[in-house]
A and B are shown apart, each in its own frame.
Chain A
């Protein structure tokens, strides 16, 4: 079965600084990978996804992620963080379109002004 690890439970960055959130997955074949963001008491918003093709994926709100098969990673990056980016970020994996998603434990991002 697939699994997802987000090693960082909490991350604090200063506004304007760069950001990288780590995500490692475990799955035998090529996975379908997602990054979602959740504000308190809200549902999840899709930031970006990777299915195939170019391993550098661009998403909304200036986020990008890079799929590295050799490292089983799909890290999320943003060059300059805004205070409004403070939220919970979840990495997720599925084995195919339409199959159930497995989520990581999430990373809480705090942005210092």
Chain B
């Protein structure tokens, strides 16, 4: 079945630095990928929709200059958290539309970001 690989699984960075998270579709082409943020014991909040070859669509309240999304190929989308601060610490999850045509979505295993 469809597999989405997300790396790294966890990262610790210093305040003010940038961190890049990768999301790859391993056995299918994903024209659209989604980036979510999840706070402890809370639900997933959609941050942005990433479209291959075009600009991402950000949800209201998400800073596009802080959370840079690039979807340069049909199998790779990246989320870069720029000038990270402790309040950016969270669990970030990507997903891709299943290419089976059945309308499902496959999720990555998530990235735990801790900013110190």
State the A residues within 8 Å of B (CB). Answer: 32, 34, 36, 41-46, 49, 51, 90, 94, 96-98, 100-106, 108
Contact = CB atoms under 8 A, between A and B. Distances in A.
Nearest to A88: B41
B49 A41 contact: no
A44 B103 contact: no
B6 A43 contact: yes
Interface residues on B, range: 20 to 34
Interface of B: 4, 6, 32, 34, 41-44, 46, 49, 91, 93, 95, 97, 101-110, 112
B43 A97 contact: no
A66 to B, nearest CB: 19
Contacts, number: 56
A97 B108 contact: no
20 contacts: A42-B110, A43-B4, A43-B6, A43-B93, A43-B109, A43-B110, A44-B44, A44-B107, A45-B107, A46-B105, A46-B106, A51-B102, A96-B103, A100-B34, A101-B34, A101-B46, A101-B95, A103-B44, A105-B42, A106-B42
Contact of A32 (B6, B34, B103, B112): B103
A105 B43 contact: yes
Contacts of A51: 102-103
B43 A43 contact: no
A49 B43 CA distance: 19
